[in-house]
Amino acid sequence: MKGYMLIGGKRVFKKEEIEITFPYDNSLVGTIPRGDEKDAELAVEAAELGFKKLKEMTPYDRFRALERAARLLSRRSKEFAQLLTLEVGKTIKEAMGEVGRAVNTITLSAEEAKRVLGEEVRFDAAPGVKGKVGFYRRVPLGVIGCITPFNFPLNLTCHKVAPALAAGNSVVIKPSENTSLTVIKLAELLIEAGFPPEAVNVITGYGEEVGDALVRNEKVRMITFTGSVETGKVIMKRGGLKKYAMELGSNAGVYVDSDQREKLSLIAQKVALGGFTLAGQVCISVQRVFVHKDLYEDFLEKLCAFTQRLKVGDPRREDVDVGPVIDKGAADRIMEWIEEAVSLGGEVACGGRRLGETLIEPTVLKGVPRQAKVVSKEVFGPVIVVNQVSSLEEAIEAINDSPYGLQAGIFTNSLKGALKFSEEVECGGIMVNEIPTFRVDQMPYGGVKESGIGREGPKFAIEEMTEIKTICFDSSF
């Protein structure tokens, strides 16, 4: 597929192109134009016009257009899933799952389009004020820059674009250079569904070039970003006075309490799923597991049994569970981190081998010290580290010993323990008797500490993407 930028509804091609390759075998999937500063400027200008045109659409019109978009996407599920598999390298099962979630995210945003509400302000509740009545409304910001990562190009772009449009904002999207083709198709679908072409723009190319120009543009009222902590920090430094929503990385932790012997198999299965889905390239992948010492060896045995059953290989095949990581550079780094963990005293409980340029065996490490990168940083690969602890308090301390705070989980029968965990663990979301990887698209989702700022989930994203305007009438004048 020859990709293009979408600026004001026009397809824009460039002489200089970037190749998109299939992570499994490096074969060519398509090309995208290498956009530059001028393209970002033109896209923002188009989006300003798009914002004006959106004002002619009522909330009901926006609801209808989003509903139509959800239906169109649902009808084209297979086509989108196949492209996702080729761009991201995710298995076809995972890709179908992502399309289903994206349909839901658009539908939830359609519903929210009808509920962008303010409330009455009691001006006369201040001393000496009489005859003044009024309210506040939530109004759209204007042009929103949406910068998205490679791992869920469809659903995570929907989490930004659909609430933005629901609230009446126009967008300029800068997708990951690895996975832009899916996003171009999504933008065309939104226009087909009824949004003004100027309201949905896509610019493609390198983050440091066209992405940076979007961030620095003063006409952009907000940057909603999902990606790594490092890039998030750069964006906030360079972007100046505008709003930001930051959905960043993590090294999610989960605790298995001593009273979980009966459910240990089920927990091990959930942990394997949470750690190895999309080859571990999920922001809330299970990375650090802390098991009570009484169950430690049994848990490891069960986790390895499940892990070794996972089929690794070509993600286009229906029977494959774990596909490749995004590129050779990522695979090199993950293998180095595994080696470092072993050199610091950790052991490989199972897996640990590289099966191809981008294929890594699902790997369970045990007894790894905290300073190892596989514990202290975000692995973003198929690696789970299991360590033993002696108490809930020790688990809480270990989970909090992280720069990140996106989601955490606990398996316990103790209500008191679960409450203590949920109060003391510093994260945006706590899952009780569930892995930290659990997410539904309507819930408030986002992190604390270096995991981010703001919340997604259409209702909550709309709060971030609107401003409060206060209106006061003097009825006695």
Nearest approach in angstroms of CB 42 to ligand NAP is: 17
CB of 245 to ligand NAP, least distance (A): 10
CA–CA distance, 165 with 169 (Å, rounded to integer): 5
Beta bridge partners of 28: 21
Which part of the chain contacts ligand NAP (CB under 6 A), choosing from 26-34, 83-91, 241-249, 286-294? Answer: 241-249
Q: Quick check: is 350 catalytic? A: no
| Closest approach of ligand NAP to the CB of residue 213, in Å | 9
Q: Which C-beta is closer to ligand NAP: that of 259 or that of 463? A: 463
- Residue 130: count other Cβ atoms within 10 Å of its Cβ: 9
Selected binder of ligand NAP within 1, 133, 139, 234 (CB under 6 A)? 234
Report the residue number, 228 or 265, with the smaller CB distance to ligand NAP: 228
| Residue 303, both tokens | 């986790």
Active site residue 304: no
Q: How many residues sit in the footprint of ligand NAP (CB under 6 A)?
A: 31
Report the candidate in 53, 60, 332, 6 with the shortest Cα–Cα distance to residue 170.
53
Strand, helix or coil for residue 268: helix
Q: Which is nearer to ligand NAP, 150 or 255 (CB)?
A: 150
| Among residues 109, 170, 176, 277, the one that binds ligand NAP under rule CB under 6 A | 176
Q: Stretches 98-106, 129-137, 202-210, 339-347: which one binds ligand NAP (CB under 6 A)?
A: 202-210
Amino acid at 177: E
Q: Any contact of residue 438 with ligand NAP (CB under 6 A)?
A: no
* SS3 (DSSP) at 300: helix
Binds ligand NAP (CB under 6 A): choice among 3, 35, 89, 211: 211
List binders of ligand NAP among 255-284 (CB under 6 A).
283
Work out whether 235 is an interface residue with ligand NAP (CB under 6 A): yes
Among the residue ranges 93-101, 115-123, 225-233, 294-302, the one whose residues contact ligand NAP (CB under 6 A): 225-233
When binding is defined by CB under 6 A, the residue of 34, 68, 160, 174 that contacts ligand NAP is 174
Q: Are 341 and 385 in contact (CB under 8 A)?
A: yes
Residue 215 touching ligand NAP (CB under 6 A): yes
Alpha helices in 310-384 (DSSP H): 328-343, 373-376
Token look-up 């009455």 returns 120
Residue tagged active-site, from 158, 283, 304, 427: 283
Task: Work out whether 182 is an interface residue with ligand NAP (CB under 6 A).
Answer: no
Residue list 377-396, contact with ligand NAP (CB under 6 A): 378, 380
Among 66, 147, 331, 375, binds ligand NAP (CB under 6 A): 147
- Contact stretch for ligand NAP (CB under 6 A) within 49-57, 101-109, 229-237, 419-427: 229-237
- Indicate whether 149 belongs to the interface with ligand NAP (CB under 6 A): yes
Q: Give residues 350-379 in contact with ligand NAP (rule: CB under 6 A).
A: 378
Q: How far is the CB of 115 from ligand NAP (least distance, A)?
A: 23
To the nearest whole angstrom, how small is the minimum distance from the Cβ of residue 151 to ligand NAP? Answer: 5
Question: What minimum distance in Å lies between the beta carbon of 226 and ligand NAP?
Answer: 5
Q: Cβ closer to ligand NAP: 136 or 206?
A: 206
Binding positions for ligand NAP, 282-311, rule CB under 6 A: 283
Q: Which of 98, 247, 378, 464 is catalytic?
A: 247
CB atoms within 10 A of CB 64: 16
281-310 CB burial, b ≥16 within 10 A, e <16:
bbbbbbbbbbbbeebbeebbebbbebbeeb
Give yes or no for a contact between 373 and 340, defined as CB atoms under 8 angstroms apart. Answer: yes
Residues 308-347 that bind ligand NAP (CB under 6 A): none
What is the helix (H) or strand (E) element at residue 97, kind and residue range? helix 92-113
Strands 404-405, 448-449: pairing is antiparallel
Q: Which stretch binds ligand NAP (CB under 6 A): 59-67, 103-111, 126-134, 200-208?
A: 200-208
Give 329's contacts (C-beta < 8 A, 6+ positions apart).
none
Contact 365, 338 (CB under 8 A): yes
What is the rounded distance in angstroms from the CA atom of residue 158 to the CA atom of residue 108?
Answer: 10
User: Rounded to the nearest whole angstrom, what is the least distance from the CB of residue 176 to ligand NAP in the complex?
Assistant: 4
Site for ligand NAP in 4-63 (CB under 6 A): none
200-202, strands of its sheet edge to edge: 10-12, 5-7, 200-202, 170-174, 143-147, 220-226, 243-247, 452-453
CA 415 from chain centre, in angstroms, equals 30
Please give the DSSP secondary-structure letter assigned to residue 33: E
Cα–Cα distance measured from residue 238 to residue 71, given in angstroms and rounded to the nearest whole number: 38
Nearest to 475 by CA among 95, 124, 111: 124
Q: Give 312's DSSP letter.
A: B
The gap between the terminal CA atoms of the chain, to the nearest Å, is 64
Nearest residue to ligand NAP on Cβ basis = 207
| Binding site residues, ligand NAP, CB under 6 A | 147-152, 156, 174-177, 206-208, 211-212, 215, 226-228, 231, 234-235, 247-249, 283, 378, 380, 406, 452
Catalytic residues: 247, 283
